[in-house]
Amino acid sequence: MSVNEVYVFRPFKLIALLCIFLALCLDIVALLSPAWVTADRFSLSLWEACTESEATITDSRWSCTSTFTSDWQIATLVLLLSGGAVTLVAFLIALISLCRGTHRQHYRTVAVFLFTAVVLQACALVLYPIKFIDGAVLQTYHEFNWGYGLGWGATIFMLGGGILFCLRTDMYEDAMY
């Protein structure tokens, strides 16, 4: 680099890698969250549904059953796990690509993986409330809790990472992409 040349560092790919890492973290916490739907004496996660029995005020007992009896809950879990696995693969490809210096060769691949994960996650997160409300037998107020919100947060970070990997910051520096 000569004295008259100026190098502009644009950290879009590092920010994209950070977005993917945050998406993975949020996805793991959302998958393990015990609170996707809560109501008075009721809690539903991706893994189990728990109800509180009305024994006494001081002695409340929770009885939990597996959610693997319902097809839509299994489909939601499979879609979320698939989206998380695709995001993990995209993260590893992006990390290896950035560390080895082969930046531009794998950006499109990572972006395609991330957009695929966004579609999988969005399908799961739209399916979940629709089927829950369709089959809900709760006669009380219920709300979608923080686990469900973290799933949407992970999806938004995946989308942001995919968009950042699509940006061409080198179009004036290199003739070949």
DSSP 103-154: TTTSHHHHHHHHHHHHHHHHHHHHHHHHHHHHH----S-EEE-HHHHHHHHH
Which spans in the chain are helix H?
12-32, 71-100, 107-135, 146-166
62 belongs to a structural domain: no
76 belongs to a structural domain: yes
48 belongs to a structural domain: no
25 belongs to a structural domain: yes
- For position 171, what pLDDT does the model report? 57
- For position 118, what pLDDT does the model report? 96
Which tokens hold the place of 119? 């579609």
59 belongs to a structural domain: no
46 belongs to a structural domain: no
Give the range of the structural domain holding residue 77, as residue numbers without chain letter: 12-36+71-166
171 belongs to a structural domain: no
27 belongs to a structural domain: yes
Name the domain count of the chain. 1
Q: Which residue has the tokens 């990472």?
A: 161
- For position 4, what pLDDT does the model report? 63
Taking only the tens of pLDDT, the chain with its 177 residues reads 555 665 555 688 889 999 999 999 999 999 998 888 888 778 888 888 888 777 655 666 778 888 788 888 899 999 999 999 999 999 999 888 888 776 667 888 899 999 999 999 999 999 988 888 877 655 667 788 899 999 999 999 999 999 998 887 655 444 444
* Residue 138 belongs to domain with CATH number: 1.20.140.150
- For position 92, what pLDDT does the model report? 93
Could you tell me which of 148, 119, 146 has the C-alpha nearest to residue 132? 148
